A and B are shown apart, each in its own frame.
Chain A
Amino acid sequence: MAISKCITNRDKVFERITSDVRYKEGLKSCMNCGVCTAICPAAEFYDYDPRLLLTTVQTKDMDKIEELLKSDFIWYCGQCMSCKTRCPRGNCPGLVINVLRKVSQEFGYFTESRMGRQQYAVKRTVGENILKYGYCVHPEAVKPELHPEQGPVWKWIFSNRKGLYDRLKGNYNNSGPGTLRKIPAESMNELHSIFEVTGGMRFYKVIDEYSKKKVKEMGFEDDEKNMNQYFMHVYKDTGE
């Protein structure tokens, strides 16, 4: 979807939200009991409240919904889906979150919040791993400098990865079945084709384009060097 076509047509935004099957499944009939908020780990850690989220969406007030889509609020959920288990009406605020996050990115709202802007970092790491390796996570991409929490054992694994995965009967970067095998070219082609046909590739471009637009708004050229700096900024910026 090109940026020029992404007019923030409020009817279109609301229609996009409510037509998603995950919205229909995630919000059936909320009685505002707040059990979701009581069980929610994100509500304990952040200033987050899934009950308020569902209440806001149900108002159909586009001023409020637009505010939501531009805020950190929709990015707090950790997707554990504990809300699904406990809701007495079978709702799932975590599923509604998936829809709101999708729409926030489609319409470019996500770059208005610190946590929304992080989607550029997620796309550049896990997103690109998928298309490059065929895995969400690959040892070559878990660079110790980006993952200090992985500790010295991961640093050792990273430095000895070929020998170690062989030691553990893996098939590291080789053809044929087995742990961490190289995904065959035909399978990678099929994966790329699925991304093209289903809009996955287009969605990556949307995240890229709006992120570049943000960089320009900040007064910088959207060249490779600045986009790399933007990546590191959104990756590390805690907002403090």
Chain B
Amino acid sequence: MKREGKQQVWKDYQKEIADNDYYFQRSCIRQNFFPGSEYAFLKILREELGKNIYDDARQTTCTGIGYHSDIIPFETIQTVVARHFALMTEKGFRNFVISCVTSFGIYSEIFETWKEFPEELEKTRYYLKKATGREFELPENMTHASDIIYKFREEIFAKRKHSLVNAATGEPLKIVEHIGCHYAKIFPRKGVGGAEFPQVLSGMIESWGGEVVDYPERRHCCGFGFRHYLVMADRGYSVANSRKKFESMEPYKPDAIICNCPGCTMFMDKWQYVIAETDKKTYGANGNGIPVLTYEELAGLILGYDPWDLGLQMHQVDSEPLLDKMGISYDPDLKYTGSNGEKMGAPMQPQFIH
């Protein structure tokens, strides 16, 4: 195919990403397990890129985890989503930015439902008005937060303190990317590169000097399974899926895993610990796990933010092997300290994984 033809095909896999003036929808899981990531995202947009983004105290969960574990009626989640659109509308924004991949799938599903079944939109408007007195406009642009980082990846790299290059050898670091099922599998046109050629994370990795690992189970689910993880009895489903991915990526010796979805980040971090505890099996070098980072944490490291300000101490698998390879200096004594440098103890060291 001629280059022009390829470019035309590639256009079909692009999405419009607003340039400025964003309304930010936070993520339950990201706030709980990776709070430094949302902080870093807002800091990067405001201080590094000079963008306007609104963080609203009034928003709640979208209820998405409850919806996909089937305790939340469709009418209820549609109306909760509509309330968030109402809050956006009232503040004068039209560009809705979503921090969570589950939420991104939810908002996309509801948006498409309203297009295909206008009566659902009317019903939701009625419910929202009755329940809260609020009214709403639809967003003009709806993106996942990673889309914004992807859009400005070159601007971020221009301000870099570090890159995805092994500081000792000069070789590109080998990075596994995991975009999360609900980013593009449900509505491929809503993800950069679609479901076939997802570019959102690989674009960041390549722009920042790294090499993307292409391994057989690259697109397999992390195994969250919603209800399967929420109930202790079924967590085997979740760990088995992550394990399938680890086994598949292991031969490629990745230096890190970068995730789009906060849930996937958490599972690929925690399940490495569980597999080590149960089977004494680790997937990184020298008994280490493979560090698992969010894309905001990675962007923060590129920009020279302190690893403990980004919250890397909250990961079960140590991130230090990646920091060392990137040539990032850090103070191990500050890893488990509070705002004023006070000691807060330290987690028990697992027997089989670091």
Contacts and interface: CB of A to CB of B under 8 A. Distances in A.
Q: Do A and B bind each other?
A: yes
A156 B336 contact: yes
Contacts of B70: 98, 101-102, 105, 119, 122
A204 to B, nearest CB: 7
Interface of B: 26, 28-29, 31-32, 35-36, 38-39, 55-61, 63-66, 68-76, 78-80, 83, 105, 113, 116-117, 120, 127-128, 130-132, 134, 181-182, 184-186, 188, 195, 220-221, 223-228, 230-237, 239-241, 270-271, 273-274, 309, 311, 313-316, 336-339, 342, 344-350
B55 to A, nearest CB: 4
Contacts of B105: 81
A24 to B, nearest CB: 8
Given A137-B65, A142-B32, A155 B348 contact: yes
Contacts of A85: 184-186, 188, 195
Contact of A82 (B29, B32, B221): B221
Contacts of B241: 41, 45, 78
Q: Size band of the A side of the interface? A: 35 or more
Contact of A200 (B32, B72, B226, B274): B72
B195 A166 contact: no
A236 interface: yes
A124 to B, nearest CB: 10
A33 interface: no
29 contacts: A21-B117, A42-B237, A82-B221, A84-B186, A98-B74, A102-B74, A121-B230, A121-B231, A122-B66, A122-B71, A122-B230, A130-B60, A130-B63, A136-B65, A137-B28, A137-B65, A151-B273, A152-B348, A156-B348, A167-B337, A168-B309, A175-B57, A184-B57, A186-B58, A187-B60, A193-B132, A194-B76, A204-B71, A239-B233
Interface stretch (A5-13, A50-58, A59-67, A157-165): A157-165
A163 B231 CA distance: 29
A183 interface: yes
A170 B56 CA distance: 14
A177 B57 CA distance: 4
Contacts of B127: 194, 197-198
A184 B132 contact: no
A112 B83 CA distance: 36
A101, A155, A190, A196: residue with the most chain B Cβ atoms closer than 10 Å: A190
B233 A123 contact: no
Contact of A118 (B57, B224, B233): B233
A34 interface: no
Contacts of B38: 179
B56 A177 contact: yes
A198 B223 contact: no
Interface string A195-212: 111111001100100000
A137 B83 CA distance: 20
Given A126-B69, A198-B79, A118 B195 contact: no
* 9 A-B pairs with the lowest CB-CB distances in the bound complex, closest first: A78-B225, A200-B76, A156-B347, A152-B348, A136-B65, A80-B221, A101-B70, A177-B57, A198-B75
